[in-house]
Amino acid sequence: MEVAKRHESQYARSLIEASLDPLVTINPEGKITDMNEALANITGVSREHLTGTDFFDYFTEPQKAREVYQEVFAMGSVADSPLTLRHCNGKLTDVLFNGSVYKDDKGSVLGVVIVARDVTAQKRSETELIEAKVFAELATQIAEEAKSKAECATRIAEDAVKAKQQFLSNMSHEIRTPMNAIIGFTKVVLKTELTTKQKEYLSAIKISGDALIVLINDILDLAKVDAGKMTFMQTPFKMSVSISAMLHLFETKIQEKNLELITKYDRQIPEVLVGDPVRLHQIVLNLVSNAVKFTNQGTITVSVDLLKQDEETATIQFSVKDTGIGIADNKIEKIFENFQQASSGTSRLYGGTGLGLAIVKQLVEPQGGTIRVESKIDEGTTFSFVLNFLKTKAEAELDAGALELDTEIPNIKILVVEDIRLNQLLMKTLLDDFGFGCELAANGKIAIEKLKNDSFDVILMDLQMPEMNGFEATEYIRNKLKLEIPIIALTADVTTVDLAKCKAVGMSDYIAKPVDEKLLYSKIVGSVKKSLLVKPKEIPPEVTEQIKYTNLTYLNTRTKSNPTLMLEMISLYLEQTPPLITAMKKTFAEKNWNSLQSAVHKLIPSFSIVGIHKDFESMAKKVHDYAGAQLQSAEISDMVHKLEKVCVQACHELKAELLIIKNKNS
């Protein structure tokens, strides 16, 4: 437990120090108790001298800063209060003062935590002030209805979790979608007639793609990294092939920098070993990438040596030596920490996040390995790590091997619901190889129309699509069409939130992108075999029910299903929205761009609150941008009319919800 708490504390500190914005904690007397390096930089005062001093003395208007600080105690928090910080050399920095109280386990206030966001280089437009005001008004109304400050703190925490999950979801999807095509088509090409050199290069791309996906998983699944719950495969593989394929990736960069790559591989190493080749690839990839980055002339030497072996295991040492800039002795330990590099100027000169070596350490040590570094400034650096591998007589697994097809179930017909053309082509290629029939639908609406007129054995459903996403389409298929057909989600998002939602709307299973063809095949066949035991239901001849635009799941979560607060939030939406719709239509007709921009700005914050799909929120933001640039086009006209339709329908739906809530609680 103490180790876990220490890891948690170290992780929290690394995040705080990584912030570019000054962050400081103050006791009730106004004295500084803790801060990050950014505060020292912006004031020009060392952390030792800052500790225990009066926080307000560092502002150009100490009394105003004190009043804002007192407001934090009175209100529980403040947001975006403009103040000016003074550097000891006289330089002034405009900041937005954001603060909230923090308490002990008994609810007693211990002090205030403050983030001062530098806005010197920014211009605060009128529309941004309006947006901030709308958000502030909504937040104030929610806060006024809160039963206690503890509930308010809980809601803030829930918002933070939701924001994190949304970030992870978006990042995972955006990165995994192109990777799905890269890795998928690489596998397809590997099955064709190729020269030895072509196979070698394509294998390098495939192995690198696999390593990148694992890296994405570990970075995005922060909870798993924090808890030290990384998992490692035990797979037979050829180490020499893995190392060689990885080093091919650096050929172009090494040639560009006129460097020499030297590889030393101990031929006494058994040809096939059991371990995690993808993790090994990640480790070496990070170390060689660093060596290339920080070396401008000379050589990079990659050595793989057998240290010892017995009948069951082999102990191998991997070394990456460069003739680069080197690392100072007092910085050696620091480089293995999250978001850290050897000096503050390193990231500016060479780039990078400071996560590479931290990830290497997290991959080596949980496998029972050790890592060390030797370095001299301007002479070079050597990273060495040692890992144990099991010996085996088995053959190495072949990623591009042929699948053993199941001939018991002929004529399987698949409906692929996917909006990205490249992914459609990939899925069709894979399904053709399996001998399955395949039809394509670019979104959920098209899929539903196809299901009304045809029958399929399995649906492969992408989650994020325009018009109607995978969740909405599945819900419609289950609740309106009353079909029990297996629906397998194709998700580029591997966070637990969407996987739970897949199950909730009635999806049968899921496959993470990039798609593993063996897993895809087995899940399709398995789903078909199960569905043969279930009698299919007839498709209704016609469904004319209107698609619902609102979803109150988020509002229920935010209000903890408190009917009073739900009624107030819905009533507020119904009060504010119709005038804004009228204003949007009127100002667009009059080509009053500033007023149109203002009206749309006020509409945008409410979309997520009442569960209107983010595609419409994006549409509203686009109208806002067009109005700001005073661009007239047919597209903006269509979007304004579409937003009007959506908001009007949302009002009708929310009025019905209002009656339901009132009746339940009357």
Q: State the CATH number of the domain containing residue 463.
A: 3.40.50.2300
What mean pLDDT comes out for the span 372-396?
89
Task: Report in angstroms the alpha-carbon separations of 550 from 392, 404, 614.
Answer: 57, 46, 11
Q: Is 80 exceeded by the pLDDT of residue 162?
A: no
Say which range, 109-123, 233-247, 321-335, 366-380, has the weakest mean pLDDT: 109-123
Q: How confident is the model at residue 209 (pLDDT cuts 50, 70, 90)?
A: confident
Residue 262, CB half-sphere, CA atoms under 13 Å: how many? Answer: 11
The pLDDT of residue 145 is 62
- Please, are residues 307 and 316 in contact by the beta-carbon 8 Å criterion? yes
In a domain, 447, yes or no: yes
Q: Does the pLDDT of residue 9 top 70, yes or no?
A: no
Residue 179 lies inside a defined structural domain of this protein: no
Same-domain pairing of 372 and 437: no
Rounded (10°) angle between helices 421-434 and 517-531: 70
Q: What is the mean pLDDT of residues 197-221?
A: 71
Residue pair 41/48 in contact (Cβ under 8 Å)? The answer is no
User: In which band, very low, low, confident or very high, does the pLDDT at 181 lie, cut at 50, 70 and 90?
Assistant: confident
Residue 146 is predicted with a pLDDT of: 55
The more confidently predicted of residues 209 and 555 is: 209
Side-chain half-sphere exposure of 93, counting CA atoms within 13 A = 21
Confidence label for 634 from pLDDT (cuts 50, 70 and 90):
low
Tell if the pTM clears 0.75, that is, is over it: no
> In this structure, is residue 536 part of a structural domain?
no
Strand order in the sheet with 437-441: 437-441, 413-417, 458-462, 487-491, 509-512
Tell me, yes or no, whether 430 and 480 share the same domain: yes
In this structure, the strands spanning 509-512 and 487-491 are: parallel
Q: Is the pLDDT of residue 81 over 90?
A: no
Please state, for a pLDDT cut of 70, what percent of the chain lies above it.
75
Encoded tokens for 651: 């009002």
Q: Are residues 77 and 215 in the same domain?
A: no
Q: Choose the final residue of a domain: 328, 356, 391.
A: 391
| pLDDT confidence band for 224 (50 / 70 / 90) | very low
pLDDT at 348: 38
67-81, 150-164, 275-289, 460-474: the lowest-pLDDT one: 150-164
Answer yes or no: is pLDDT of 351 > 50: no
CA–CA distance, 517 with 514 (Å, rounded to integer): 9
Q: CA-based angle 69:74:78, to the nearest 5?
A: 55
**Within a domain: residue 127?**
no
Bigger pLDDT: 665 vs 246: 246
**472 and 383 co-located in one domain:** no
Q: Which pLDDT score is estimated for 593?
A: 84
pLDDT score of 488 more than 90: yes
When comparing pLDDT for 450 and 194, which is higher? 450
Does residue 356 share a domain with residue 215?
A: yes
**139 in a domain, yes or no?**
no
Predicted pLDDT at 176: 66
**Mean pLDDT (the chain, rounded):** 78
Q: Is the confidence at residue 629, as pLDDT, over 80?
A: no
* Domain end marker among 500, 531, 562: 531
Cross-sheet strand order for the sheet of 77-86: 32-35, 23-26, 109-118, 92-103, 77-86
Question: Of the given ranges (186-190, 223-227, 253-257, 286-290), which has the lowest mean pLDDT?
Answer: 223-227
Mean pLDDT of 243-254: 79
Residues 354 and 228 both lie in one domain: yes
265 pLDDT band, cuts 50/70/90, is very high
User: How confident is residue 556, by pLDDT bands cut at 50, 70 and 90?
Assistant: confident
Which pLDDT does position 398 carry in this prediction? 46
**What is the crossing angle of helices 196-220 and 356-364, to 10°?**
90
Q: Which helix (H) or strand (E) holds 99?
A: strand 92-103
Please calculate the CA angle 81-84-89 and round it to the nearest 5 degrees: 160
In a domain, 451, yes or no: yes
Same domain, 327 and 217: yes
By CB neighbour count within 10 A (0-12 exposed, 13-18 middle, 19+ buried), where does 197 fall? exposed
439 and 387 in one domain? no
527 and 576 in a single domain? The answer is no
Query: Where does the pLDDT of residue 221 fall: very low under 50, low under 70, confident under 90, or very high at 90 and above?
Result: very low
Mapped onto helix, strand or coil, the DSSP state of residue 96 is: strand
Q: Is residue 6 included in any domain, yes or no?
A: no
How many domains does the chain contain in total?
4
Cβ within 8 Å of residue 319, ≥6 positions away: 301, 302, 303, 304, 305, 382, 383, 384
Residues 306 and 380 in one domain: yes
445 and 362 within one domain: no
pLDDT digits (tens, 9 = 90+) for 451-486: 988 889 999 998 888 889 899 999 999 999 989 899
Q: Please determine, for residue 10, whether its predicted confidence score (pLDDT) is greater than 80.
A: no
| Position 3 in a domain | no
Domain boundary pick from 391, 426, 460: 391
Same domain, 304 and 273: yes
DSSP string, 403-468: P----SS-S-EEEEE---HHHHHHHHHHHHHHT-EEEEESSHHHHHHHHHH---SEEEEESS-SSS
Residue 352: the pLDDT is 39
* Contacts for 454 with CB less than 8 Å, ≥ 6 apart: 439
Comparison of pLDDT for 409 and 324, the residue scoring more: 324
Classify residue 424 as left (phi > 0), alpha (psi -120 to 50) or beta: alpha
Instruction: Tell me which residue range forms the domain holding 230.
Output: 192-391
pLDDT recorded at residue 356: 63
Residue 511 pLDDT > 90: no
Highest mean pLDDT among 55-69, 131-145, 166-180, 494-508: 55-69
Q: In which band, very low, low, confident or very high, does the pLDDT at 174 lie, cut at 50, 70 and 90?
A: low
Confidence of residue 252 (pLDDT cuts 50, 70, 90): confident
Output phi, psi for 98, to 5 deg: -120, 125
> How do residues 604-622 score in pLDDT, each as one tens digit?
878 877 888 877 888 888 8
pLDDT at 538 over 60: no
The answer for residues whose C-beta is within 8 angstroms of residue 281's C-beta and 6 or more apart is 207, 208, 210, 211, 242, 246
Both tokens of 252, joined, read: 């172009």
Interval 530-536 mean pLDDT: 57
- pLDDT band of residue 300 (cuts 50, 70, 90) is very high
